[in-house]
Every structure is written in C-alpha cells, then in structure tokens.
Chains A and B, each alone.
Chain A
Amino acid sequence: MAEFLQFSFSGLTVGAVYALVALGFTIIYNASDVINFAQGEFVMLGGMVTVFAYAAGVPLPFAALLAITVAMVVGVGLNKLAIEPARGASAVTLIIITIGASVFLRGAAQVGFDKQFHSLPAFSGDTPINVFGATLLPQSLWVLGSALLIVVALFVFFNRTLYGKAILATSNNRLAAKLVGINTNQIMLASFAVSAAIGALAGIVVTPITLTSFQVGTLLALKGFAAAMLGGMGNPIGAVIGGLMVGLLEAFTAGYLSSEYKDATAFIVILIVLFFFPGGLFGKAKVERV
C-alpha cells in the first residue's frame, strides 16, 4: 500500500507537469489550430532562466517572474515571426515550423546557458511529509498546487471574462469571431503568451524535483502532447485528466515493470489512443466536411 501510494505521489507530481504542458497545447490549438511542438521549450525556459537568474543573485520569486516574462516574450515572438507569416499553411507545414522553433530554442539554450543539469532549492524545505508510510516532498505540493491554481484560473478566465469568451469564440469559428468584432490576431498572441506562461510556471515549480537542462523540452512536449491526445485534443479538462493519467501510468510502469521503459509509456499510450479512440477519451467524433 505504501508502495502504491508512493508511486501515485510521484505519478501525480509529474502528471501535473504534463497536464500543464497539455493545457498549453490545448489553448494554442483552440485559438489557432496549431499544434505547438515548441511547448516543451517554454517549460525548459522557465526552469533554465530561473536557475540562472537565481544563481546571479536575483531572489527566487523575481527570478521566477523574470523566467515567465522571458517565456511569454518568446511565445509571442514565435507567433509573430513564425506562425503568423505561415497562416493558412497545411498542418504538416505548421508542424515543421514549430518543431523548427523547438530545435532552435534548444540550440539557443545550449549556447546561451550551458549543457549541464541544474536544480533549484525546494521552495519550502526538503523535509518529506509522511503519509501512510509513503513520503511526499513539500515541492510536490507546490507542483500540484500550482497546477490546481492554473486550472481554476483558466476556468474563470474562459467562462467569466469577456476576453476569455472571445478566445473561445475564436476557437469555435475564426471568421464568425472576426465578424462580431473580435481581433483574432490579438487572440492568437494572447493564447501564445498565456500558454508560454503556463509552461514556464510548470518548469519553475518542477525544477527542484526533476532538474532541468537545455534538452528537457522535447520529451516534455511529446508527453504533454500524449496527454492532450488522451484527453481529446482541444478539451482543457481532458488535457488535465490526460496529463495526470500519463503521469500515473509512467510512475506505475517505472515502479512495477521497468524503469528503463518508463518513457515508453507515453508513446504507447499515444499509439493505443490513436488506434482505438482517435477522438481521445473525452473528445467528440469529428465530422469532416468535404
């Protein structure tokens, strides 16, 4: 039982990070139909910028704010410089562009920072909390708490604010949204900024647990994508549940089956979902118009 709990805790912690990455995917996908493969790089930037700013003597909260700002600027820049000029291109073209952006950001981080792994001190100490024989790191609570906070904030944003509703309207039908006076270009920018900020935050809170380096983004993006697919692309609640499920599956695979193949879990999940439930667990069947 203690073992099971232990695996669940670690699964939920990484799962929360995947959920945040998946949410980032979902927001951009809903606003623009683009799958942003550079989403993981926002997580990387969040972690790396915080680490380096903190090492330079900036207090942790400000370092974190700085990292989020940097990620948002990069996100907006990505949209302005790479996505907007290719508006109307096929899915494949956009995929290659965002993968290019991801490769570029990775390369830039490798040159701009370094190739080492870095960590941050845990926000509120390292004393583990004992829960029924399993241990829970206080930092895990930070991760889960931030994820919860973001989900609630997004829920309020999308359902209670005019701006959030404008994003929803754009995702439903861009042309109609334009016709009722929504500035869809601005919506795109906002969605990139928001999802970059979410990614960066995930990177910051998880760094004390999992470490960070210039290359963590790729795998995170893929796993976050698996999570988003599992929940049904474009469904925010699905993204969160999908993220937690991928995290849990991964932790149980590592615990009970083989730690070498824990990274395979996410991809096997992707393949199974695609083969058997192409719409995801919570997605609707899509009817394509010829």
Chain B
Amino acid sequence: MARVLFTPHVGGLLVLIAVIVIAPYFFPSNFYFRIFALVWIASIAVVGLNLLMGYAGQVSLGHAGFYGIGAYAVAVLPHHFGVPSLIALVIGLVVAGGLAYLVGRPILRLKGHYLAVATLGMGILIAMVITNEAQFTGGPDGMSVPRLELFGERIRGSDTWYWISGATLVVICWLALNLVNSPTGRALRAVHDSEVAAQVNGIDIAREKLKVFVLSAVFAALAGSYHAFMGPTITPVMADFLHSIELVIMVVIGGMGSVFGSVVGAAFLVTLPQLLTVFDEYKFMMLGLLMMAFMIFLRDGIVPSLGKLLRGRFAPAKAEEPSSPKASEPSEAKPS
C-alpha cells in the first residue's frame, strides 16, 4: 500500500491535487488565482510537449502556434461567425490536431536540427497568419474574447478558471501517465533510445511519433483556448517564436520525460517574472541564462534530478567520450 503511494500514478496525482486544493489558502490576494491559473494552463501545454520531447525525443520549436490556434479559435469563431464558445473550442482542438497530423508526417521524418527548424518554421507561419489577417484577428493589437457560457452561466473570474484549469490539468496528467505506461509509451521510449532498434522490433516509428505530435498539439491548443477564455484579450504574442521557446524551457527546466516536471517547469517560468517585476527589463537576459545554465549544468531538469537525489543513487558521472562528428549522439535524458 505504502509503495503504491510513491508511484507517479497515485502519489504524484495525489500531490498535484493536494497542491491545487491547498494553494488558494495561501494566496494573499485574488490576483494569485490568475497567476496560478496561468501556471496550470501552461502546464497543460507543457505536459503535451514533454511527451513529445521527453518520451519520443522529438523537439518542437513551434508549439506556440498550436497554442495560438486554440486561443484564436475561441475568439474569432464566436466573434465573427456566431459559433458557440464551447463548439469553437472543440473546432480549435480539431484544427490544431488536424494541422499537426498533416504537417507531422513529413516533418517527423526529419531529425535533430532539421526537425527543430521545420517546426519552428511552421510555428512562425501560424503566428504570421494570425498577425496579418487583421480583419479577423485584430492584427498585432489582438482582440477581446467573448466569455464562455456554460449552462446559461457566464464563466468569468480568475478563481473559476483556477479550478477549471486545475481540474483539467489533473485529467491531462492522468492521461499522460497512462500513455507513458501503455504500449505506445514504451514504443516512444524505444524510439527515443534508438530509432533503428525500435524499428527492428517492429515499431511503426512514424505512426508513434505522429500520434504523440498530434496529442501534444491538441493539449497546446486546449491550453491556448483556456488562456483566451480567461482573457480578457489575446494577442499574436501567444503564438510567436519566443512563446514556443518558453514552452520548451518549461519542459527542459522541469525535466524532459517527467510528467510532473512539466508542472514544476511551468510554475517556475510563469511565477518567476511575477517575482521579478522590478527586473522586467532583464526578463529575456534571465530566460536566456536559464536556458543555457540548465542545458549545461542540470540537463536532466529539476524533477528527475530531485528524484535521483531522493532515491540516493547518483548516476556515476558520464565519461567524456571523444565526440565523433556527424554521428548521432546518445540521448542523455532518460525517462524517469
């Protein structure tokens, strides 16, 4: 019984639920509901991206594009076409997933730098469309989002969104953990460790990668929709390159291949600028330094490193191998 409590499935989810429920008692003001709602929302996107990066070992520098699709779907469709918000949300998810499916096939054949650049190009194209189609999206100034109505009630207020996004995050984490422990999850890890070996063992690499790419795009779009609903306004900044990078940093800081690491990474990066409002000017310097520092010194990220520490078994320092150029390097992030 005690052992069960320490598995991510039971223990991890319980901790997450406890944090979500207890945190509001420590909020000094209502403003914190908004910040932590943003943390849960970012986490939803980051959990998906982490499945892609940490488990399947594929990088995406364009996920903010899907986030933007989700956000603008719930803004543009109700505003210009009178589509009910909830249906607009579903349409947003379908569009993001469909787009990921279409571009995923050719894109996911690529590796390393090429994959990074292809996803980046895709993300930037989405952001560009959002910025340029000003008659629908309001251009660079953004637009306001009609409030979501559920059962005749207008959903507003950061505290309501705190609970909605928190509950959704729990479900998303549960889904992600299930996926990780399913045949698909094992296949993904095999793909991460060695694509060739995975293929030899009969795994349809392309299909497994595509599956998780589509899933992560849908999660990102869902996060974008929530963010837009909480509003009050949205701008193309949500879809731009730097936001994609921020999502990647969240994955990396929390720990690639760790579902709860995603939440920690998101919490870290969303709350940090709030703590450092005085240093607003230095935000990007800090972000850049963090990215470099984590990649150089703490490549496993916070949660997996802590996990190792707690289990008291430090992996012996990896011997520096003479790096052979042009050969693919062994991936360093093992799923934990």
Please classify the interface of chain B as helix (H, G, I), strand (E, B), loop, or mixed, using the class held by over half of its residues. helix
- Cβ contact within 8 Å between A89 and B332: yes
CA distance A85 to B326 in the complex (A): 19
Chain B min CB distance to A86 (Å): 5
- Cβ contact within 8 Å between A92 and B59: yes
Interface size in chain B (residues, C-beta < 8 A): 58
- Cβ contact within 8 Å between B284 and A93: no
Most buried by A among B284, B286, B320, B328: B284
Chain B min CB distance to A141 (Å): 31
Apart from A88-B323, A278-B109, what 9 extra A-B contacts exist at CB < 8 Å?
A: A85-B296, A104-B287, A106-B284, A107-B282, A107-B284, A107-B286, A107-B287, A261-B128, A268-B125
- Cβ contact within 8 Å between A100 and B325: no
**Chain B 281-321 interface residues, beta-carbon cutoff 8 Å to A:** 281-292, 295-296, 299, 320-321
Contact of A107 among B112, B285, B295, B324 (CB under 8 A): B285
A260 proximity list for chain B (CB < 8 A): 132
| B105 nearest in chain A by CB position | A275
CA distance A96 to B289 in the complex (A): 11
Chain B min CB distance to A149 (Å): 29
Provide a sorted-by-A list of 5 A–B residue pairs whose CB atoms are within 8 angstroms.
A88-B329, A99-B291, A103-B291, A175-B324, A264-B128
Contact of B116 among A95, A104, A173 (CB under 8 A): A95
B107 proximity list for chain A (CB < 8 A): 274
Binding site for A on B (CB under 8 A): 53, 57, 59, 61, 103, 106-107, 109-114, 116-118, 120-122, 124-125, 128, 132, 196, 241-242, 245, 248-249, 252, 281-292, 295-296, 299, 320-332
Most buried by A among B57, B103, B116, B282: B116
CA distance A32 to B113 in the complex (A): 14
- Cβ contact within 8 Å between A91 and B113: yes
| B281 nearest in chain A by CB position | A111
- Cβ contact within 8 Å between B288 and A107: yes
Interface size in chain A (residues, C-beta < 8 A): 55
Whether A102 contacts B288 in the complex (CB less than 8 A), given A171-B325, A261-B128, comes out as: yes
- Cβ contact within 8 Å between A92 and B53: yes
Interface string of A165-179 (1 = CB under 8 A from B): 000000101110010
- Cβ contact within 8 Å between A90 and B125: no
- Cβ contact within 8 Å between B329 and A274: no
Contact of A110 among B59, B281, B291, B331 (CB under 8 A): B281
A281 interface contact, C-beta 8 A: no
Interface string of A48-84 (1 = CB under 8 A from B): 0000000000000000000000000000000000100
Chain A min CB distance to B161 (Å): 29
A101 proximity list for chain B (CB < 8 A): 288, 292
- Cβ contact within 8 Å between A91 and B289: no
- Cβ contact within 8 Å between A97 and B196: no
